[in-house]
Amino acid sequence: MSFSEKIVLITGGAQGIGKKTAEKFLQEGASVVICDYDESAGKATIEELKNEKVEFFKVDVTDSTQIEHMVGSIEDKHGRIDILINNAGITLDGFLTKMEDSDWEKVISVNLSGVFKCTKAVVPIMLKQGAGVILNASSVIGLYGNIGQTNYAATKAGVIGLTKSWAKEFGPKGIRVNAVAPGFIETGMTAAVPEKVLQLMKEKTPLKKLGKPEDIASAYLFLASDHANFINGAILSVDGGLVI
């Protein structure tokens, strides 16, 4: 599964699933660009990866100007973008009756509008190439909802709608669009979750364990590869059987 000469852009790539995804693609020979709003984490990741084929941009995915500057810089340097992984996301959980408008708007802005803005900036390059792969981060929460996550569930359901619409819109142009819907994954977000709750998550999952970032990274790697060249508009659940 070689990605040599492929240019991969990963949003939210400085840590967690995004970071592990960058590692996977680098191992397969790709040139990887990671962007993240957290500059210190981004620089630390670049230092840790120690690979001349990875670079970092400090970008807020809610800011179209920053996105367009990054995409223009990538095109100037590499002449193409082959794979876009819209991985950036946040949570600001709370029951509906206690959720502030600002918590709703911030999550929508990052998790949904960020996917729209990044894809809108990259698609013209893929259209010129006549080829490309766009992968979006959804969630089992977007498929089935969850108590206390109104804003997050709405964004991840919205990402599914974007994915299916773009698969129809850009499929005839040689661009495949798919999404991954992770279940409970061990990341920085879950590190702050009480052990009692983590145990409950494990019990709800038929495999009786939490997923790891590399499980999601491997799904991205497969969907971006030629092995998946007839997969378009799919939402791949990577959840240990959670929703069976």
Q: Could you say which of 37, 144, 152, 220 is catalytic? A: 152
Calpha distance 81→70 (Å, rounded): 12
Closest CA to 91 of 81, 80, 104, 78: 104
Catalytic (active site) residue 144? no
Q: Are 171 and 128 in contact (CB under 8 A)?
A: no
Cα 133–chain centre separation: 13
Q: Are 221 and 190 in contact (CB under 8 A)?
A: no
The count of other CB atoms within 10 Å of the CB of residue 237 is 20
- All residues at 6 or more sequence positions from 230 whose CB lies less than 8 Å from its CB, including other chains: none
Q: Are 232 and 176 in contact (CB under 8 A)?
A: yes
66: tokens are: 């920053």
Positions marked catalytic: 152
